[in-house]
Structure 1
Amino acid sequence: MATINKRLFLTGASGLLGRAIYKKFVNEGWTVYGTAYSRVAAGLHKLDLTDDSEVKKAIVQFKPSFLIHCAAQRFPDKVDLDPEGAAKLNIDTTRCLAQVAGSIQVPLLYISTDYVFDGKSPPYAVDAVPSPLNLYGKTKLDGEKVTLDVGKGNLVLRVPVLYGPVEYLAESAVTVLLNSLLQTDKQCKISDCELRRPSHVDDIADICLQMAVKRLEDENICGIFHWCGKEVFTKYGMLVQMAHTFHLPYDSHVTPDSSTPSATTTPRPYDTTLDTSRLEQLGIGHHTPFSVGIKSALQSWVR
């Protein structure tokens, strides 16, 4: 088997998932050009992804063998507040990256979301027809389309809500729940309605590595892939698991809210369970039990 050229160009390398991917590939002996914009940590390169000429220059000079596009506006409420900015990052930047990758004949892996589905008829196969409920899901779906339209050999990986070691608790919709647990003097309601299958970012990073290696060995490995955690929780269920993990009280100040969200909030799908069989048939997959993953992710936040 020919040795693959291990050079990764990674956008969003300072983000929640990007940090895990960067670390995983570096640990596996890859040379990684990680880009960041507002949080440029050591080893990363500051790059404005909305500046097409700078993006093209950086990629062409680095000569990658594989690209992963992690950078996105991934908070649905923020997408609603700045639809233009979200479209730039989630669609236009993706198009530019796919075009540059195509021009140097290098595959692109685009990280997408389970929010491309309306959550009404899970589990969703890779060829299920998307029907996003909110603008975030729509922009990510448009990003998928340009990824696959520009380069037939490109890949899309749809993932669920992610968690892992965070720089601030609100960096993940999962870890932010710890705030409600710790603020015992504040009564709060936590949604006990929509079902989620959280995935640890280290699992997704491992899957991205396996996909990159397989794609570089076999150009037929392309198109859409799904991954999600094996356990199902509501937000309240995740909070209860955190409480048990860290022996924290919750009964007296946290109430489960089983009502459907009001029409004034950004709509979210009910159950977006993804069918992961296409990856599993390739021997690709990784699941960290939630109790284990959440303990390692939040240990330093619990005194």
Structure 2
Amino acid sequence: MSCSGAELRIRFSPGHVQLVQEEVVPAPKVLVTGATGLLGRAMCKEFQNGGWLVIGTGYRRARPRLLRCDLNDEDAVRGLLHEYKPDVIVHCAAERRPDVVERHTEAAVNLNVHATSTLAKEAAVCGALFIYISTDYVFDGRNPPYGEDDSPNPLNVYGRSKLEGERETLRHCPGAVVLRVPVLFGEVESVAESAVTSLWLKVQEESCTLDHCQQRFPTDTRDVAAVCRKLSERARQDSSIRGIFHFSGKQQMTKFEMAVTISQAFSLPSNHLIPLTEQPAASAPRPINSQLNCSRLELLNLSVEPQPFASAISDCLWPFTPDKRWRQTVFH
């Protein structure tokens, strides 16, 4: 996938100068879709720190140093891949808010399914490794933990759209990797960007009722990005690295338990937080417990050890504490 070349270099030694030709291997290139989003930003940072040349794309929120590309425009996608010839494509762009998907189904399906299909086809044509980020919501939550070979049964339109994206990925690009992950958190531009970091607002309310029914496994985007880089580096050397993988944080927590942990991490009171033990009403039904079995990654030594939730969430939220709030304007 990469081309190597040669460079002439001068080698000095005492009393001797020698002109030698050395083989130079260019840095591998990764294209990250959704690079303006929560996971996409972490992905770009991880690959860049690992010595990769990163090409990030966005659309409505595209900013300097990112390429603007409408992923629903097949010609634009084809032209982008033809011009930049990435070795790896990590497809982070998605509509990942289940309630929004229920209300705006057509737009969500266009991004989660049709754009994925286009990218998978073009990845196969240009010989790039394609990594598709999927979700634990492809499962119904009735019989956890779920392995990669367990039968999906999504409860909501979001889960169905991501499952269809998986199928399109593997149909058009058999050598692709599908990585299923649960609810994500990470460095945010506003706390509302993640369902986990948005609990910071609840912690500061006078009284707040929070779900204490649905079991979640909050996962740091930095860890997901590290796994994707490891998968990319191994898969470029080993064609057996393909198909479906699971990665997840290890701590099982409800939203109520996450909020209490956040309160404790910042030495704030939590007695105003009220656990709700009946499944809350929402426009999109959620699985009670869609825990992922991540042993395939672990057996291949492609996983990472997640940070404890308390320390990881503190890293994300400290800029939003009252004495650091000025940082929000320059955080990214």
Q: Name the TM-score, length of structure 1 as normaliser.
A: 0.96
Secondary structure of 1:94's partner?
helix
Q: CA deviation at 1:115?
A: 0.3
Q: Which residue of 1 aligns with 2:132?
A: 110
The residue correspondences of 1:1-303 to structure 2 (distance < 5 A) are 6-184=28-206, 187-251=207-271, 253-262=272-281, 265-286=283-304, 287-303=306-322
Runs (5+) with no aligned partner, structure 2: 5-24, 323-332
Secondary structure of 2:313's partner?
helix
Question: In the TM superposition, what whole-angstrom CA distance separates every residue of 1:222-273 from its partner, at most 9, and x where no partner exists?
Answer: 000001101110000000000000011121x3211011223x5310001111
Q: Is the 8 A contact 1:8 1:33 kept in 2?
A: yes
- Number of aligned residues: 298
Distance 1:4 1:121 in 2: 47
Distance 1:38 1:298 in 2: 25
Q: CA deviation at 1:32?
A: 1.1
Paired AA for residue 258 in structure 1? T
Q: CA deviation at 1:38?
A: 1.9
Q: CA deviation at 1:284?
A: 1.5
Paired AA for residue 175 in structure 1? T
Paired AA for residue 202 in structure 2? S
Secondary structure of 1:111's partner?
strand
Q: CA deviation at 1:183?
A: 2.2
Secondary structure of 1:194's partner?
coil
Distance 2:192 2:263 in 1: 18
Q: CA deviation at 1:220?
A: 1.1
Q: CA deviation at 1:41?
A: 2.8
Bigger drift between 85-94 and 37-46 goes to 37-46
Q: Is the 8 A contact 1:4 1:217 kept in 2?
A: no
Question: In the TM superposition, what whole-angstrom CA distance separates every residue of 1:2-39 from its partner, at most 9, and x where no partner exists?
Answer: 96851001100110000000001011111111001122
Q: Is the 8 A contact 1:190 1:254 kept in 2?
A: yes
Larger radius of gyration: 2
Secondary structure of 2:56's partner?
strand
Secondary structure of 1:288's partner?
coil
Secondary structure of 1:293's partner?
helix
Whose relative contact order is higher, 1 or 2, with alpha carbons under 8 Å and at least 6 apart?
A: 1
Secondary structure of 1:56's partner?
helix
Runs (5+) with no aligned partner, structure 1: none
Provide the identity percentage: 42
Distance 1:85 1:260 in 2: 28
Q: Is the 8 A contact 2:154 2:160 kept in 1?
A: yes
Distance 1:292 1:188 in 2: 23
Q: Is the 8 A contact 1:125 1:274 kept in 2?
A: yes
Q: As a proportion of its length, which structure holds more strand?
A: 2
8 and 60 in structure 1: CA distance in 2 versus 1, 3 angstrom threshold? same
Secondary structure of 1:217's partner?
coil
Q: Name the TM-score, length of structure 2 as normaliser.
A: 0.88
Paired AA for residue 303 in structure 2? G
Distance 2:189 2:152 in 1: 32
Secondary structure of 2:236's partner?
helix
Q: Is the 8 A contact 1:95 1:147 kept in 2?
A: yes
Question: In the TM superposition, what whole-angstrom CA distance separates every residue of 1:102-147 from its partner, at most 9, and x where no partner exists?
Answer: 1112120000000000011000000000000000000000000000
Q: Is the 8 A contact 1:193 1:234 kept in 2?
A: yes
Q: CA RMSD in A?
A: 1.3
Distance 1:255 1:261 in 2: 13
Q: Which residue of 1 aligns with 2:16?
A: none
Secondary structure of 1:256's partner?
strand
